[in-house]
Chains A and B, each alone.
Chain A
Amino acid sequence: EAGVAQSPRYKIIEKRQSVAFWCNPISGHATLYWYQQILGQGPKLLIQFQNNGVVDDSQLPKDRFSAERLKGVDSTLKIQPAKLEDSAVYLCASSLGGRGAYNEQFFGPGTRLTVL
């Protein structure tokens, strides 16, 4: 079974530029998550989708971050414009859906963003 795919793996941009990350979840997984992992910290949830609808985006900085999952499969996370503090690894995860601990999240390898 193929895992969660993310691209690009690495990205270096200058502040105030725009950047986009792509995620393709495991086939059949209804729920998709984007996390931000700053160096030395644990992942922090940015946004959660159930199919193509947003379940939770309370921690997404909406003035500069946006995300979409138009067809309920793959997803794009965008930052416009980027700030220095956005330097982090952006992790995508997916799960079958539903609630509770049996709804295991599977993580992709992440995209490491460096903002200069």
Chain B
Amino acid sequence: AQSVTQLGSHVSVSEGALVLLRCNYSSSVPPYLFWYVQYPNQGLQLLLKYTSAATLVKGINGFEAEFKKSETSFHLTKPSAHMSDAAEYFCAVMSNAGNMLTFGGGTRLMVKP
């Protein structure tokens, strides 16, 4: 069985500050990992994904995430927050044997001016 834990249901940063959203996973096989963003009243949009090609993954809108097997983590970062980054972010895991996504509970990012 696989699962995802996102630490912190709400994260608040100032505009221009570092964004760090935490994700830890549990999987019995090497996983694929994803970060999605959800803006109000919209569906989920893929930010980036880890597929074992490289441990540091760059995504859209300046986000990146690093896969750390020893820590079973896949934290999402962005050097400088922008007001438009305010949204809900979901980490998800997929086993390499299938295509079923298991999502974490989400982290709501708030950006203060």
Contacts and interface: CB of A to CB of B under 8 A. Distances in A.
Interface string A19-59: 00000000000010000000011111100100000001000
Contacts of A31: 99
A98 B99 contact: yes
Nearest to A103: B99
A18 to B, nearest CB: 24
B32 A43 contact: no
Chain A interface: which size bin? 20 to 34
A48 B100 contact: yes
A89 B34 CA distance: 21
B43 A4 contact: yes
Contacts of B104: 42
Contacts of B100: 45, 48, 56
A91 interface: yes
Interface string A90-116: 010101001111111101111010000
Interface of A: 4, 9, 31, 40-45, 48, 56, 91, 93, 95, 98-105, 107-110, 112
Give the 10 A-B residue pairs with the shortest CB-CB distance, closest first.
Answer: A42-B103, A107-B43, A101-B32, A107-B44, A101-B51, A109-B43, A103-B99, A108-B43, A99-B99, A43-B103
12 contacts: A31-B99, A40-B9, A41-B105, A42-B90, A42-B92, A43-B101, A56-B100, A101-B50, A101-B51, A101-B96, A103-B99, A109-B41
